[in-house]
Amino acid sequence: GGKSSGMDRINQSSVTEFLLLGLSERPEQQPLLFGIFMGMYLVTVMGNLLIILAIGFDSHLHTPMYFFLANLSFADACFSSTTVPKMLVNIQTHSHTIPYEGCLAQMHFFMMFGALDDFLLGVMAYDRYVAICRPLHYSKLMSPLVCVVLLAACWVLTNLAALLHTLLMARLSFCAGNSIHHFFCDVVPLLQLSCSDTSTNQVVLFTVGSMILTGPLSLIILSYAYIMSTILGVSSAPGRQKAFSTCGSHLTIVFLFYGTAIGVYLFPPSSHSGVKERIAAVFYTVVTPMLNPFIYSLRNNDMKTALSKIFGTHTFSSQGI
């Protein structure tokens, strides 16, 4: 045992940086990857910023549903910004390195904004439940104070969860390799690189991961079960259609985000390369945040009106998108 503890001491200080190998190590694929991800990133940031601006400038949209949607857009823009820009810089500079501290910071913010996305989707489902199933109590149950408290709770809980993972990761030592087969510092690939005992980390990852993913997901499923039964009880076809359209757009996002995230975190890969995991990660880190604005605004007349106000035109509403 003496030998290994001596080795640990040497190695603990040896990893000062990690290598992010990205989605592909083939040089000929780099320009294509750069183009695709740059395009997707710009669309994500612009789309989400437009939603925040539209909601901010239109007083009709100062309601709980849009308050949470604006926050979801902010979380989405930040979520993409924790991973994609670094990947683009690495492709452009032909350098794969990320400092040890930078890697932990990236992991922290990635987990925080990812979980925040998650919690906000849950809160938004609850908001729709109250609006559709308990309309008479809506102004009391979703008062401005309640909304602020719910939002603050989301921020605090997700920050604590991310901090817990980050502190547990900081205890580990990394010996053999420092090559991460991924385009950002994610928990699972980092745990695979450590030469310390990672059992605590894995138990916490599974426990906290399960709570973060299944907590809001259960809330969403319950809310929508009640919503569906209420809608089916509504006799008027237009009322039914409007409620279905709002909820349909929400559910699309939920399935995309949760489906891929659960696959990666609750069933981590045994293999070191985890190609399927990297592809799944692209979905929930890049594709979902990019689609959110479109799914919410293009299927929603209030959003279209607000966006057309920003552009000073009526193109959105006139084309009947």
pLDDT above 70 coverage of the chain, percent = 88
Of 149, 158, 132, 157, whose CA–CA distance to 67 is shortest? Answer: 149
Residues near 28 by Cβ (< 8 Å), separated by ≥ 6?
Answer: none
Question: Pick the residue with more confidence: 2 or 96?
Answer: 96
Question: Pick the residue with more confidence: 11 or 273?
Answer: 273
**Contact between 193 and 176 (Cβ < 8 Å):** yes
Residue 4 has pLDDT above 50, yes or no: no
Rounded mean pLDDT, 260-271: 67
Structure confidence at residue 2 as a pLDDT band (50, 70, 90): very low
Q: Which residues pair with 18 in a beta bridge?
A: 98
Q: What is the pLDDT of residue 139?
A: 92
Distance of alpha carbon 273 from alpha carbon 118, whole angstroms: 26
Question: Pick the residue with more confidence: 233 or 159?
Answer: 159
Distance of alpha carbon 39 from alpha carbon 19, whole angstroms: 24
Q: What is the pLDDT of residue 249?
A: 73
pLDDT in tens, 181-206: 888 998 888 888 888 888 898 899 88
SS3 letters across the chain: CHHHHHHHHHHHCCCCEEEECCCCCCHHHHHHHHHHHHHHHHHHHHHHHHHHHHHHHCHHHCCHHHHHHHHHHHHHHHHHHHHHHHHHHHHHHCCCEEEHHHHHHHHHHHHHHHHHHHHHHHHHHHHHHHHHHCHHHHHHHCCHHHHHHHHHHHHHHHHHHHHHHHHHHHCCCECCCCEECCCCCCHHHHHHHECCCCHHHHHHHHHHHHHHHHHHHHHHHHHHHHHHHHHHHCCCHHHHHHHHHHHHHHHHHHHHHHHHHHHHHCCCCCCCCCHHHHHHHHHHHHHHHHHHHHHHHCCCHHHHHHHHHHHCCCHHHHCCC
Q: How far is CA 263 from CA 50, 174, 196, in A?
A: 31, 26, 25
pLDDT above 90 coverage of the chain, percent = 38
Question: Pick the residue with more confidence: 55 or 246?
Answer: 55
Residue 309 has pLDDT above 70, yes or no: yes
Question: Pick the residue with more confidence: 91 or 248?
Answer: 91
Q: How far is CA 95 from CA 98, 104, 214, in A?
A: 9, 19, 38
**Count of Cβ atoms closer than 10 Å to residue 158 Cβ:** 22
Residue 42 has pLDDT above 70, yes or no: yes
Beta-strand pair 17-20/179-180: parallel
Q: What is the pLDDT of residue 176?
A: 63
The whole-chain average pLDDT of the chain stands at: 83
Rounded mean pLDDT, 36-48: 94
Q: What is the pLDDT of residue 230?
A: 86
